[in-house]
Amino acid sequence: MRKKICIAGLGLLGTSLAMALDRSRYEVNGWCRNPDTGKWVLQKEIIEKFYASPEEAMQDADLVCICLPIPVIIDFIRQYGKYQKSGALLTDIGSVKGVICKAAAEIPSLNFIGSHPMAGTEKSGPHAAFATLFNNADVFIVPEADSDPASLRFLQEFWESIHTHVRFVPAENHDKLVANTSHMLHIIASALSQSILDAPDADELRLNYAGCATGFRDTSRIASSSPAMWREICENNVPAIMAALDSFETRLSAMKESLRTGQFEDFETLFTKGRYLRDSWLCYKAAVKLPESITLCGIKHAGKSSAAGELARILALKYYDTDDVLVEMFTAKYGEKLSVREIYIRLGEEGFRKLEAEAIRSVTVDGQPKIIALGGGALSNSFLTEDDLKKLGVIVCLDVPDSVAFERILKNGLPPFLKDAEDPFAKFSAMNQEKRDLFRKKAHIYLTPAAFEQTPRDIALHILSLYKEKVL
Protein backbone atom coordinates (compact mmCIF):
# COMPACT_ATOMS: atom_id res chain seq x y z
CA MET A 1 0.00 0.00 0.00
CA ARG A 2 1.33 3.41 -0.99
CA LYS A 3 2.25 5.86 1.76
CA LYS A 4 0.42 9.18 1.60
CA ILE A 5 2.73 12.14 1.22
CA CYS A 6 1.67 15.77 1.53
CA ILE A 7 3.94 18.50 0.19
CA ALA A 8 2.92 21.59 2.16
CA GLY A 9 4.10 24.51 0.05
CA LEU A 10 4.28 24.22 -3.75
CA GLY A 11 7.06 26.58 -4.76
CA LEU A 12 10.24 25.60 -6.58
CA LEU A 13 11.39 23.02 -4.02
CA GLY A 14 8.00 21.62 -3.05
CA THR A 15 6.84 21.18 -6.64
CA SER A 16 10.18 19.68 -7.69
CA LEU A 17 9.93 17.24 -4.79
CA ALA A 18 6.41 16.24 -5.85
CA MET A 19 7.66 15.70 -9.41
CA ALA A 20 10.55 13.53 -8.24
CA LEU A 21 8.64 11.12 -6.00
CA ASP A 22 7.86 7.61 -7.24
CA ARG A 23 4.07 7.25 -7.73
CA SER A 24 4.25 3.47 -7.43
CA ARG A 25 5.65 3.93 -3.94
CA TYR A 26 3.92 7.10 -2.73
CA GLU A 27 0.57 8.80 -3.14
CA VAL A 28 1.74 12.36 -3.75
CA ASN A 29 -0.64 15.07 -2.54
CA GLY A 30 -0.20 18.74 -1.73
CA TRP A 31 -1.35 21.91 -0.05
CA CYS A 32 -0.43 25.55 -0.47
CA ARG A 33 -1.93 28.93 0.35
CA ASN A 34 -2.63 29.85 -3.29
CA PRO A 35 -5.63 27.95 -4.75
CA ASP A 36 -4.55 28.85 -8.30
CA THR A 37 -1.23 27.09 -7.74
CA GLY A 38 -3.17 24.09 -6.41
CA LYS A 39 -5.27 23.97 -9.58
CA TRP A 40 -2.17 24.24 -11.75
CA VAL A 41 -0.25 21.38 -10.09
CA LEU A 42 -3.39 19.20 -10.21
CA GLN A 43 -3.92 19.99 -13.88
CA LYS A 44 -0.28 19.10 -14.62
CA GLU A 45 -0.72 15.87 -12.60
CA ILE A 46 2.18 16.85 -10.35
CA ILE A 47 0.03 15.89 -7.35
CA GLU A 48 -2.93 13.53 -7.07
CA LYS A 49 -4.98 15.45 -4.50
CA PHE A 50 -5.02 19.03 -3.24
CA TYR A 51 -5.87 19.31 0.44
CA ALA A 52 -8.38 21.99 1.39
CA SER A 53 -6.50 22.90 4.58
CA PRO A 54 -3.37 22.07 6.60
CA GLU A 55 -5.63 20.39 9.19
CA GLU A 56 -6.89 17.96 6.56
CA ALA A 57 -3.34 17.25 5.37
CA MET A 58 -2.06 16.58 8.90
CA GLN A 59 -4.99 14.27 9.67
CA ASP A 60 -4.64 12.25 6.45
CA ALA A 61 -0.98 12.06 5.35
CA ASP A 62 1.62 9.57 6.58
CA LEU A 63 4.30 12.18 5.96
CA VAL A 64 3.89 15.93 5.68
CA CYS A 65 6.93 17.76 4.31
CA ILE A 66 6.76 21.53 4.89
CA CYS A 67 8.31 23.39 1.96
CA LEU A 68 7.74 26.96 3.12
CA PRO A 69 9.82 29.96 4.32
CA ILE A 70 11.34 29.53 7.79
CA PRO A 71 8.92 31.80 9.71
CA VAL A 72 5.98 30.10 8.00
CA ILE A 73 7.39 26.64 8.80
CA ILE A 74 7.51 27.64 12.47
CA ASP A 75 3.94 28.99 12.33
CA PHE A 76 2.75 25.86 10.51
CA ILE A 77 4.22 23.60 13.21
CA ARG A 78 2.72 25.63 16.04
CA GLN A 79 -0.73 25.94 14.47
CA TYR A 80 -1.22 22.52 12.90
CA GLY A 81 1.16 20.12 14.66
CA LYS A 82 -1.61 19.13 17.09
CA TYR A 83 -3.65 17.69 14.20
CA GLN A 84 -1.04 15.07 13.29
CA LYS A 85 -2.42 11.61 12.52
CA SER A 86 -1.30 8.84 14.87
CA GLY A 87 1.84 7.17 13.54
CA ALA A 88 2.51 9.91 10.98
CA LEU A 89 5.66 12.00 10.58
CA LEU A 90 6.24 15.72 10.03
CA THR A 91 9.42 17.07 8.41
CA ASP A 92 10.53 20.24 6.63
CA ILE A 93 13.14 21.52 4.19
CA GLY A 94 14.19 24.68 6.03
CA SER A 95 17.81 25.70 5.70
CA VAL A 96 18.11 26.60 9.41
CA LYS A 97 17.26 23.82 11.81
CA GLY A 98 17.75 25.10 15.36
CA VAL A 99 14.74 27.47 15.48
CA ILE A 100 12.50 24.97 13.69
CA CYS A 101 13.41 22.04 15.94
CA LYS A 102 12.83 24.28 18.97
CA ALA A 103 9.31 25.10 17.74
CA ALA A 104 8.55 21.42 17.16
CA ALA A 105 9.72 20.57 20.71
CA GLU A 106 6.97 22.83 22.06
CA ILE A 107 4.42 20.14 21.08
CA PRO A 108 5.38 17.00 23.08
CA SER A 109 3.07 14.68 21.12
CA LEU A 110 4.42 15.79 17.72
CA ASN A 111 6.49 13.27 15.73
CA PHE A 112 8.84 15.69 13.97
CA ILE A 113 12.27 15.15 12.42
CA GLY A 114 13.85 18.04 10.53
CA SER A 115 15.37 17.75 7.04
CA HIS A 116 17.34 20.02 4.76
CA PRO A 117 18.10 19.07 1.14
CA MET A 118 21.07 20.99 -0.26
CA ALA A 119 19.37 21.85 -3.54
CA GLY A 120 17.85 24.83 -5.26
CA THR A 121 18.37 27.50 -7.89
CA GLU A 122 18.20 31.29 -7.91
CA LYS A 123 14.70 30.98 -9.39
CA SER A 124 11.45 30.55 -7.48
CA GLY A 125 7.87 29.38 -7.92
CA PRO A 126 6.26 26.17 -9.18
CA HIS A 127 6.80 27.02 -12.84
CA ALA A 128 10.58 26.87 -12.27
CA ALA A 129 10.37 23.35 -10.81
CA PHE A 130 11.92 20.28 -12.41
CA ALA A 131 11.99 16.62 -11.39
CA THR A 132 15.79 16.20 -11.23
CA LEU A 133 16.47 19.16 -8.93
CA PHE A 134 17.40 16.85 -6.04
CA ASN A 135 19.48 14.35 -8.01
CA ASN A 136 22.78 13.62 -6.23
CA ALA A 137 22.04 16.27 -3.59
CA ASP A 138 23.05 15.81 0.04
CA VAL A 139 20.16 15.85 2.50
CA PHE A 140 20.73 16.54 6.18
CA ILE A 141 18.37 14.83 8.60
CA VAL A 142 18.38 16.32 12.10
CA PRO A 143 17.25 13.74 14.66
CA GLU A 144 16.69 14.35 18.35
CA ALA A 145 17.85 12.00 21.09
CA ASP A 146 14.33 10.56 21.40
CA SER A 147 13.51 10.37 17.67
CA ASP A 148 11.60 7.25 16.71
CA PRO A 149 13.97 4.81 14.88
CA ALA A 150 11.22 3.63 12.52
CA SER A 151 10.43 7.24 11.58
CA LEU A 152 14.11 7.92 10.94
CA ARG A 153 14.29 4.93 8.59
CA PHE A 154 11.10 6.05 6.82
CA LEU A 155 12.47 9.57 6.35
CA GLN A 156 15.82 8.30 5.12
CA GLU A 157 14.12 6.01 2.58
CA PHE A 158 11.90 8.90 1.48
CA TRP A 159 14.85 11.14 0.64
CA GLU A 160 16.98 8.36 -0.85
CA SER A 161 14.09 7.41 -3.15
CA ILE A 162 14.74 10.63 -5.13
CA HIS A 163 18.46 9.89 -5.55
CA THR A 164 19.90 11.94 -2.70
CA HIS A 165 22.60 11.16 -0.12
CA VAL A 166 21.40 11.32 3.48
CA ARG A 167 23.58 12.61 6.32
CA PHE A 168 22.54 12.65 9.98
CA VAL A 169 23.71 15.69 11.95
CA PRO A 170 22.67 17.56 15.14
CA ALA A 171 20.82 20.84 14.60
CA GLU A 172 23.60 23.03 16.01
CA ASN A 173 26.25 21.41 13.79
CA HIS A 174 23.96 21.71 10.79
CA ASP A 175 23.46 25.44 11.27
CA LYS A 176 27.21 26.05 11.58
CA LEU A 177 27.80 24.00 8.44
CA VAL A 178 25.27 25.76 6.21
CA ALA A 179 26.42 29.15 7.45
CA ASN A 180 29.73 28.31 5.74
CA THR A 181 28.50 26.41 2.71
CA SER A 182 25.39 28.39 1.79
CA HIS A 183 24.34 31.38 3.86
CA MET A 184 27.68 33.20 3.76
CA LEU A 185 27.94 32.62 0.00
CA HIS A 186 24.72 34.49 -0.69
CA ILE A 187 25.96 37.41 1.39
CA ILE A 188 29.29 37.45 -0.46
CA ALA A 189 27.57 37.19 -3.87
CA SER A 190 25.38 40.17 -3.03
CA ALA A 191 28.34 42.21 -1.75
CA LEU A 192 30.34 41.26 -4.85
CA SER A 193 27.55 42.42 -7.15
CA GLN A 194 27.35 45.73 -5.31
CA SER A 195 31.13 46.18 -5.31
CA ILE A 196 31.43 45.67 -9.06
CA LEU A 197 28.22 47.14 -10.41
CA ASP A 198 27.24 49.94 -8.04
CA ALA A 199 28.18 52.97 -10.14
CA PRO A 200 27.09 56.61 -9.64
CA ASP A 201 25.80 57.23 -13.18
CA ALA A 202 24.36 55.33 -16.14
CA ASP A 203 27.44 55.67 -18.37
CA GLU A 204 29.78 54.14 -15.80
CA LEU A 205 27.21 51.44 -15.00
CA ARG A 206 27.01 50.43 -18.68
CA LEU A 207 30.80 50.34 -18.83
CA ASN A 208 30.86 48.02 -15.82
CA TYR A 209 28.23 45.86 -17.49
CA ALA A 210 30.44 45.59 -20.57
CA GLY A 211 33.42 44.55 -18.46
CA CYS A 212 31.57 41.69 -16.75
CA ALA A 213 31.58 38.32 -18.51
CA THR A 214 31.24 34.68 -17.52
CA GLY A 215 33.46 35.00 -14.43
CA PHE A 216 31.14 37.59 -12.93
CA ARG A 217 28.07 35.66 -14.03
CA ASP A 218 29.26 32.43 -12.39
CA THR A 219 30.39 33.96 -9.10
CA SER A 220 27.41 36.30 -8.69
CA ARG A 221 24.57 34.00 -9.83
CA ILE A 222 23.02 33.46 -6.40
CA ALA A 223 22.81 37.21 -5.79
CA SER A 224 19.62 36.98 -7.87
CA SER A 225 17.93 34.91 -5.15
CA SER A 226 14.95 36.26 -3.21
CA PRO A 227 16.11 39.02 -0.80
CA ALA A 228 13.13 38.43 1.49
CA MET A 229 13.85 34.72 1.73
CA TRP A 230 17.52 35.26 2.49
CA ARG A 231 16.74 37.91 5.06
CA GLU A 232 14.57 35.30 6.84
CA ILE A 233 17.26 32.62 6.61
CA CYS A 234 20.14 34.81 7.81
CA GLU A 235 18.05 36.42 10.52
CA ASN A 236 17.64 32.96 12.09
CA ASN A 237 21.33 31.97 11.93
CA VAL A 238 23.28 35.11 12.84
CA PRO A 239 25.94 33.69 15.25
CA ALA A 240 26.99 30.92 12.86
CA ILE A 241 27.05 33.28 9.87
CA MET A 242 29.21 35.81 11.73
CA ALA A 243 31.76 33.08 12.53
CA ALA A 244 31.75 31.96 8.88
CA LEU A 245 32.31 35.53 7.64
CA ASP A 246 35.19 35.97 10.12
CA SER A 247 36.84 32.82 8.69
CA PHE A 248 36.36 34.10 5.14
CA GLU A 249 37.81 37.49 5.99
CA THR A 250 40.90 35.79 7.45
CA ARG A 251 41.51 33.87 4.19
CA LEU A 252 40.84 36.96 2.07
CA SER A 253 43.19 39.05 4.23
CA ALA A 254 45.98 36.51 3.74
CA MET A 255 45.65 36.78 -0.05
CA LYS A 256 45.47 40.59 0.14
CA GLU A 257 48.60 40.70 2.31
CA SER A 258 50.58 38.48 -0.07
CA LEU A 259 49.72 40.84 -2.92
CA ARG A 260 50.41 43.99 -0.90
CA THR A 261 53.86 42.77 0.16
CA GLY A 262 54.77 41.26 -3.20
CA GLN A 263 54.90 37.69 -1.87
CA PHE A 264 53.60 36.26 -5.12
CA GLU A 265 54.79 32.71 -4.43
CA ASP A 266 52.66 32.73 -1.28
CA PHE A 267 49.77 34.12 -3.31
CA GLU A 268 50.12 31.32 -5.88
CA THR A 269 50.25 28.73 -3.09
CA LEU A 270 47.01 30.05 -1.61
CA PHE A 271 45.38 30.25 -5.03
CA THR A 272 46.51 26.71 -5.80
CA LYS A 273 45.02 25.41 -2.57
CA GLY A 274 41.70 27.02 -3.45
CA ARG A 275 41.76 25.33 -6.84
CA TYR A 276 42.57 21.93 -5.37
CA LEU A 277 39.82 22.22 -2.79
CA ARG A 278 37.17 23.19 -5.33
CA ASP A 279 38.27 20.47 -7.75
CA SER A 280 38.07 17.90 -4.95
CA TRP A 281 34.49 19.03 -4.25
CA LEU A 282 33.60 18.54 -7.93
CA CYS A 283 35.00 15.00 -7.74
CA TYR A 284 33.04 14.34 -4.52
CA LYS A 285 29.79 15.47 -6.15
CA ALA A 286 30.49 13.16 -9.09
CA ALA A 287 31.73 10.23 -6.97
CA VAL A 288 28.60 8.11 -7.43
CA LYS A 289 29.02 8.24 -11.20
CA LEU A 290 32.80 8.36 -11.61
CA PRO A 291 33.67 6.51 -14.81
CA GLU A 292 36.79 4.95 -13.33
CA SER A 293 38.56 4.09 -10.10
CA ILE A 294 41.64 5.94 -8.92
CA THR A 295 44.64 3.68 -8.32
CA LEU A 296 47.85 4.88 -6.68
CA CYS A 297 51.22 3.30 -7.32
CA GLY A 298 54.78 4.40 -6.64
CA ILE A 299 58.13 3.41 -5.23
CA LYS A 300 58.25 1.87 -1.79
CA HIS A 301 57.28 4.37 0.94
CA ALA A 302 56.22 7.09 -1.49
CA GLY A 303 53.14 7.64 0.70
CA LYS A 304 50.62 6.12 -1.70
CA SER A 305 48.67 4.22 0.97
CA SER A 306 48.24 7.33 3.14
CA ALA A 307 47.18 9.48 0.17
CA ALA A 308 44.83 6.77 -1.12
CA GLY A 309 43.18 6.45 2.29
CA GLU A 310 42.64 10.20 2.36
CA LEU A 311 41.18 10.13 -1.16
CA ALA A 312 38.69 7.48 -0.09
CA ARG A 313 37.65 9.53 2.94
CA ILE A 314 37.18 12.69 0.89
CA LEU A 315 35.10 10.97 -1.79
CA ALA A 316 33.33 8.52 0.58
CA LEU A 317 34.43 5.64 -1.66
CA LYS A 318 35.65 2.17 -0.72
CA TYR A 319 39.41 1.88 -0.28
CA TYR A 320 41.56 -1.18 -0.88
CA ASP A 321 45.27 -1.60 -0.26
CA THR A 322 46.14 -4.62 -2.40
CA ASP A 323 48.91 -5.56 0.04
CA ASP A 324 46.28 -5.88 2.78
CA VAL A 325 44.05 -7.93 0.47
CA LEU A 326 47.02 -10.15 -0.35
CA VAL A 327 47.68 -10.77 3.36
CA GLU A 328 44.02 -11.69 3.90
CA MET A 329 44.11 -14.14 1.00
CA PHE A 330 47.31 -15.76 2.24
CA THR A 331 45.84 -16.12 5.72
CA ALA A 332 42.67 -17.72 4.34
CA LYS A 333 44.64 -20.15 2.17
CA TYR A 334 47.41 -21.15 4.55
CA GLY A 335 45.91 -20.46 7.98
CA GLU A 336 48.84 -18.27 9.00
CA LYS A 337 48.98 -14.48 9.11
CA LEU A 338 52.27 -13.11 7.82
CA SER A 339 53.43 -9.69 6.66
CA VAL A 340 53.84 -8.93 2.95
CA ARG A 341 57.59 -9.21 3.41
CA GLU A 342 57.26 -12.63 5.06
CA ILE A 343 54.81 -13.85 2.40
CA TYR A 344 57.31 -12.88 -0.30
CA ILE A 345 60.02 -14.91 1.41
CA ARG A 346 57.69 -17.88 1.91
CA LEU A 347 56.24 -18.02 -1.63
CA GLY A 348 59.13 -16.70 -3.68
CA GLU A 349 58.81 -14.23 -6.57
CA GLU A 350 56.51 -16.31 -8.80
CA GLY A 351 54.17 -17.48 -6.05
CA PHE A 352 53.97 -14.00 -4.58
CA ARG A 353 53.11 -12.40 -7.94
CA LYS A 354 50.40 -14.98 -8.64
CA LEU A 355 48.76 -14.23 -5.30
CA GLU A 356 49.16 -10.48 -5.88
CA ALA A 357 47.41 -10.74 -9.25
CA GLU A 358 44.59 -12.71 -7.62
CA ALA A 359 44.24 -10.02 -4.94
CA ILE A 360 44.05 -7.22 -7.52
CA ARG A 361 41.41 -9.05 -9.56
CA SER A 362 39.30 -9.60 -6.45
CA VAL A 363 39.25 -5.83 -5.83
CA THR A 364 38.30 -4.80 -9.37
CA VAL A 365 35.87 -7.60 -10.27
CA ASP A 366 32.68 -5.63 -9.50
CA GLY A 367 33.58 -2.74 -11.83
CA GLN A 368 32.52 -0.10 -9.27
CA PRO A 369 34.63 3.05 -8.77
CA LYS A 370 36.89 2.84 -5.73
CA ILE A 371 40.29 3.96 -4.44
CA ILE A 372 43.13 1.42 -4.73
CA ALA A 373 46.73 1.44 -3.48
CA LEU A 374 49.04 -0.96 -5.32
CA GLY A 375 52.14 -2.69 -4.04
CA GLY A 376 55.39 -1.30 -5.44
CA GLY A 377 55.92 -4.04 -8.03
CA ALA A 378 52.31 -4.67 -9.03
CA LEU A 379 52.41 -2.87 -12.38
CA SER A 380 55.27 -5.12 -13.52
CA ASN A 381 53.39 -8.27 -12.47
CA SER A 382 53.51 -10.58 -15.50
CA PHE A 383 50.37 -12.40 -14.31
CA LEU A 384 48.25 -9.28 -14.86
CA THR A 385 46.72 -8.78 -18.31
CA GLU A 386 46.07 -5.48 -20.05
CA ASP A 387 42.39 -5.94 -19.19
CA ASP A 388 43.33 -6.32 -15.51
CA LEU A 389 45.28 -3.06 -15.66
CA LYS A 390 42.43 -1.29 -17.45
CA LYS A 391 40.09 -2.16 -14.57
CA LEU A 392 42.36 -0.20 -12.23
CA GLY A 393 40.99 3.00 -13.80
CA VAL A 394 43.11 6.14 -13.69
CA ILE A 395 46.55 5.12 -12.42
CA VAL A 396 48.38 7.82 -10.49
CA CYS A 397 52.07 7.40 -9.77
CA LEU A 398 53.11 9.17 -6.59
CA ASP A 399 56.85 9.84 -6.54
CA VAL A 400 59.25 11.20 -3.91
CA PRO A 401 63.04 11.56 -3.85
CA ASP A 402 64.90 8.32 -3.06
CA SER A 403 66.37 9.88 0.06
CA VAL A 404 62.90 10.60 1.48
CA ALA A 405 61.61 7.09 0.75
CA PHE A 406 64.79 5.45 2.11
CA GLU A 407 64.55 7.42 5.34
CA ARG A 408 61.03 6.07 5.80
CA ILE A 409 62.23 2.53 5.10
CA LEU A 410 64.94 2.75 7.75
CA LYS A 411 62.31 3.42 10.41
CA ASN A 412 60.90 -0.10 9.82
CA GLY A 413 64.20 -1.85 9.14
CA LEU A 414 65.71 -2.86 5.81
CA PRO A 415 63.61 -5.34 3.79
CA PRO A 416 65.15 -8.68 2.67
CA PHE A 417 66.07 -7.49 -0.82
CA LEU A 418 68.26 -4.71 0.66
CA LYS A 419 69.79 -6.39 3.72
CA ASP A 420 72.65 -8.11 1.89
CA ALA A 421 73.50 -5.15 -0.35
CA GLU A 422 76.91 -3.55 0.02
CA ASP A 423 75.28 -0.14 -0.42
CA PRO A 424 71.52 -0.49 0.36
CA PHE A 425 70.70 3.06 -0.70
CA ALA A 426 72.47 2.71 -4.05
CA LYS A 427 70.64 -0.56 -4.72
CA PHE A 428 67.32 1.02 -3.68
CA SER A 429 67.90 3.97 -6.01
CA ALA A 430 68.79 1.69 -8.92
CA MET A 431 65.63 -0.39 -8.38
CA ASN A 432 63.54 2.77 -8.20
CA GLN A 433 64.89 4.03 -11.51
CA GLU A 434 63.67 0.86 -13.22
CA LYS A 435 60.27 1.24 -11.55
CA ARG A 436 60.01 4.90 -12.47
CA ASP A 437 60.56 4.05 -16.13
CA LEU A 438 57.70 1.55 -15.90
CA PHE A 439 55.45 3.94 -13.98
CA ARG A 440 55.93 6.64 -16.60
CA LYS A 441 54.74 4.19 -19.26
CA LYS A 442 51.81 2.74 -17.31
CA ALA A 443 50.54 5.64 -15.18
CA HIS A 444 48.06 8.16 -16.52
CA ILE A 445 49.18 10.81 -14.01
CA TYR A 446 52.72 11.16 -12.64
CA LEU A 447 52.95 13.33 -9.54
CA THR A 448 55.85 14.56 -7.47
CA PRO A 449 54.27 16.57 -4.63
CA ALA A 450 55.44 20.13 -4.10
CA ALA A 451 56.99 21.18 -0.79
CA PHE A 452 53.72 22.69 0.49
CA GLU A 453 51.66 19.54 -0.12
CA GLN A 454 53.50 16.86 1.81
CA THR A 455 50.55 15.91 4.01
CA PRO A 456 48.38 13.03 2.70
CA ARG A 457 45.38 15.38 2.57
CA ASP A 458 47.13 18.00 0.44
CA ILE A 459 48.51 15.31 -1.88
CA ALA A 460 45.02 13.81 -2.20
CA LEU A 461 43.57 17.22 -3.10
CA HIS A 462 46.22 17.69 -5.80
CA ILE A 463 45.46 14.23 -7.22
CA LEU A 464 41.75 15.03 -7.37
CA SER A 465 42.47 18.26 -9.22
CA LEU A 466 44.48 16.36 -11.83
CA TYR A 467 41.86 13.62 -11.97
CA LYS A 468 39.12 16.21 -12.52
CA GLU A 469 41.01 17.65 -15.48
CA LYS A 470 41.46 14.19 -17.00
CA VAL A 471 38.09 12.55 -16.40
CA LEU A 472 35.28 14.93 -15.47
Structural domains in the chain (count)? 3
Q: Please tell me the predicted confidence (pLDDT) of residue 254.
A: 97
Domain at 384, CATH number: 3.40.50.300
pLDDT for the residue numbered 122: 84
Task: Round to whole Å and give the CA distance between 183 and 231.
Answer: 10
Q: Based on the domain organization, do 162 and 88 belong to the same domain? A: yes
Rounded distance between C-alpha atoms, residue 186 and residue 172, angstroms? 20
DSSP one-letter code for 182: I
Q: What is the pLDDT of residue 418?
A: 86
State whether 208 and 127 are in the same domain: no
Residue 271 lies in a domain: no
Query: What element of type H or E holds 185?
Result: helix 184-197
- 299: helix, strand or coil: coil
Shared-domain flag, residues 19 and 139: yes
Say yes or no: 92 and 232 in one domain. no
Consecutive 10-residue runs of the chain (472 residues): their mean pLDDT?
A: 96 97 97 95 96 97 97 98 97 97 96 96 92 95 96 98 96 97 96 95 94 95 93 96 97 98 96 95 81 89 93 94 97 95 93 97 94 92 95 94 90 82 92 90 90 85 91 76
pLDDT of residue 288: 64
Distance CA 184, CA 94 (A): 16
User: Taking Cα atoms as reference points, which of 472, 462, 235, 458 lies closest to residue 369?
Assistant: 472
Are 435 and 299 within 8 A, CB to CB? Answer: yes
State the pLDDT at residue 289: 67
- Identify whether residues 158 and 201 lie together within a single domain: no
Determine the Cα–Cα distance for residues 198 and 145; give it in Å rounded to an integer: 49
CATH at 94:
3.40.50.720
Same domain, 253 and 337: no
On whether both 361 and 449 belong to a single domain, the answer is: yes
**Can you tell me the distance from the alpha carbon of 161 to that of 216, in angstroms, rounded to the nearest whole number?**
36
pLDDT for the residue numbered 204: 94
Kindly state whether residues 95 and 150 are assigned to the same domain.
yes
What range defines the domain where residue 234 resides? Answer: 176-262
Q: What is the DSSP string of 121-175?
A: -S--SGGG--TTTTTT-EEEEE--TT--HHHHHHHHHHHHTTT-EEEE--HHHHH
Has this prediction a pTM greater than 0.85?
Answer: no
- Structural domain contains residue 273: no
Last residue of a domain, one of 123, 152, 169: 169
Are 109 and 211 contained in the same domain?
no
Do residues 30 and 38 make contact, with C-beta atoms less than 8 angstroms apart? yes
